[in-house]
Amino acid sequence: MLAHHFDETKLNRLENRVKLYGNNMAPNPRRVHIFMAEKGITCENVQLDIVKGENLSDEFLAINPRGMLPTLVLDDGTVIDETVAICRYFEETQPEPALMGTDPVNKALVESKQRHMEWDGLLGAMEAFRNAFPGFASRGLGGNVGTVEAIPALVERGKETLRRFYERLDGQLAASKFIAGDDFTIADITALCTIDFAAGAARVPIPEECANVSRWHTEVSARPSIQG
Amino acid sequence: MLAHHFDETKLNRLENRVKLYGNNMAPNPRRVHIFMAEKGITCENVQLDIVKGENLSDEFLAINPRGMLPTLVLDDGTVIDETVAICRYFEETQPEPALMGTDPVNKALVESKQRHMEWDGLLGAMEAFRNAFPGFASRGLGGNVGTVEAIPALVERGKETLRRFYERLDGQLAASKFIAGDDFTIADITALCTIDFAAGAARVPIPEECANVSRWHTEVSARPSIQG
């Protein structure tokens, strides 16, 4: 699919060097896919079905004992999990285009905004979905944690969190083109994946009155990295 | 206090350049204090009482609308919140000693481990404490989020999370001097502040059988940055 959007000669093809375990339906693997597409990096992808528990199979736990996706495996066997850590690896190995900030202050501000999106938005969306989805009734936390009963009270709390998230973000995007200022960064990727997941899985779409969030969402969704 | 442990002539004194809002009892501000002490950086500190809600005063919300601590203010008025983003600022402006990794792979692995400590440990400790503490009965989430009722079921879930955290960490520290390998990093700081907070506020101390965690905790706690 990338061929329709990117100059193929400029792709950084890592198919024989790194392997990414993920799931196309889940927001965290999607964050890494978009981050890589923005940099024109491709690699081998392995899809695991989270609902079926393929991330908790003995085979995958031998690779990542936490059972979390995405997980990146380098050709020397080094295993890196956690979305932002995987993005850091690609940012450090291929700095352009910069997606995690430029000078020290900008890097700190991008990291701060990225974390706001995670803690103020994505965590709430995860809680709203996970504690309502029947398939996760005994998987109230993600990954290799054994039986953890869902907590129904987290569903409404997560939805309330998302409403606050949209309202605050709308105020910020009234004065800012992207989440962390004038440039597209990892903070936009986290926000986009949070909002699409909130709208779909947690059923809390962008409120009509949040016109600035809608403007930003339309613009960002049109990027080749997101459509690819 | 630092004078007993550091060569004063080597301190990087930023008292007139940056101001840090925090709280000595809370784990996140403590993470930044230790990070700065490791680098020998000092600055102006402002203490806010979270239980009394000083972080939610109009005066502080004018600085940080999220009402979260720690918050760093630069001399040009730039505001940086989120513990790891503040640490990133200091890491970028004063790289030595490196606390967030060295080469690309090491930086990614340190970031990954740091995040394991947050999501697998600190989040659980926060949930176990916040949802049990009477003073936070209507402040079930931190910061400027209005009334959020505590969810009692999160107390036991948080304690279970901490027990898993200790057990997994003990296995890792059997083969590793520090959390992310041979060097002390931000991952150790997050782990130490998580464990001390878990033992104190959430009443889940290191289990006796976790001898490797205890060994590591004793060694790390003896560092001047932690004692200071």
Helix (H, G, I), strand (E, B) or coil at B71: strand
Do B208 and B110 lie in a common domain?
yes
* pLDDT given at position A228: 63
Does residue A24 form part of some domain? yes
Chain A residues with CB inside 8 Å of B104's CB? 88-89, 92-93
Q: Residue A116: list chain B partners with CB under 8 A.
A: 66, 82
Number of domains present in the structure of chain A: 2
Final residue of a structural domain among B74, B93, B112: B93
Q: Are residues B163 and B211 in the same domain?
A: yes
**Residue after which a domain boundary falls, among A93, A117, A139:** A93
Nearest by CB to A112, from B85, B107, B148: name it: B85
- Based on the fold, state whether residues B70 and B161 are members of the same structural domain: no
- Do the chains contact at B85 and A115, CB–CB below 8 Å? yes
The complex's ipTM?
Answer: 0.95
Say whether both A79 and A122 belong to one domain: no
B106 interface with A at CB cutoff 8 Å: no
Any chain A CB within 8 A of the CB of B115? yes
- Our separate counts of H helices and E strands in chain A read 9, 6
In terms of domains, do B119 and B223 share one?
yes
CA distance B148 to chain A (A): 8
In this structure, are B124 and B157 located in the same domain? yes
Query: Does B105 touch chain A if contact means CB atoms closer than 8 Å?
Result: yes
Q: Are residues B126 and B214 in the same domain?
A: yes
The strand pairing partners of B81, in sequence order, are B71
Q: Which of A73, A123, A141 to mutate to test the interface with B (most CBs of B within 10 A)?
A: A141
Chain B nearest-CA distance from A124, in A, is: 11
Asked which of A27, A62, A93 is the last residue of a domain, the reply is A93
Percentage of chain B exceeding pLDDT 70:
96
CA-nearest of A111, A113, A196 to A162 is A196
Report the gap between the CA of A175 and the closest CA in chain B (Å): 15
> Hey, what are B37's tokens?
């002490």
pLDDT digits (tens, 9 = 90+) for B38-83: 999 999 999 999 999 999 999 999 999 999 999 999 999 999 999 9
Other C-beta atoms within 10 Å of B75: how many?
Answer: 10
Answer whether residue A35 is part of any domain: yes
Q: Please give the C-alpha separations between residue A149 and each of A26, A104, A133, A153, B16, in angstroms, as whole numbers.
A: 21, 42, 12, 12, 51
Range with lowest mean pLDDT among A12-26, A207-221, B93-107, B182-196:
A12-26
Over chain B, what is the mean pLDDT?
Answer: 95
Instruction: Please judge whether B92 and A112 are an interchain contact, meaning their C-beta atoms are less than 8 angstroms apart.
Output: no
A41 — contact with chain B (CB < 8 Å)? no
**CATH assignment of the domain containing A51:** 3.40.30.10
Q: Please determine, for residue B118, whether its predicted confidence score (pLDDT) is greater than 60.
A: yes
C-alpha to C-alpha distance for B137 and A16, rounded to whole angstroms? 53
User: Does B148 touch chain A if contact means CB atoms closer than 8 Å?
Assistant: yes
Whether residues B92 and A109 touch (CB distance < 8 A) is answered with: no
**Domain region containing B60:** 2-93
Let me know whether A111 and A205 are in one domain: yes
**Are A36 and A16 found together in one domain?**
yes
Residue B98 lies in a domain: no
> Whole-prediction pTM value?
0.96
Same-domain check for residues B48 and B110: no
Q: What is the mean pLDDT of residues B122-134?
A: 98
What is the predicted pLDDT for the residue at A3? 40
CA distance B104 to chain A (A): 5
Residue A27 lies in a domain: yes
Q: Are residues A134 and A223 in the same domain?
A: yes
Position A99 in a domain: no
Which residue from B minimizes the CA distance to A102?
Answer: B92
Contact by Cβ (8 Å): A29, A23? yes
Facing B92 at nearest CB: one of A65, A81, A107: A107
Query: What is the rounded CA–CA span in Å between residue B68 and residue B151?
Result: 21
d(CA B221, CA B99): 17
Residue B99, domain member (yes or no):
no
Chain A residues in contact with B80 (beta carbon < 8 A): 105, 108-109, 112
Question: Does B140 lie at the interface with A, CB-CB under 8 angstroms?
Answer: yes
Q: Which residues from chain A sit within 8 angstroms of residue B69, using beta carbons? A: none
Pair B129, B222 in one domain = yes
pLDDT score recorded for residue A70: 98
Whether residue A106 lies within 8 A of chain B, CB to CB, comes out as: no
Shortest CB distance from A86 goes to which of B84, B108, B146? B108
pLDDT in tens, chain A (228 residues): 444 455 677 889 998 899 999 998 899 999 999 999 999 999 999 999 999 999 999 999 999 999 999 999 999 999 999 999 999 999 999 999 999 999 999 999 999 999 999 999 999 999 999 999 999 999 999 999 999 999 999 999 999 999 999 999 999 999 999 999 999 999 999 999 999 999 999 999 999 999 999 999 999 999 999 986
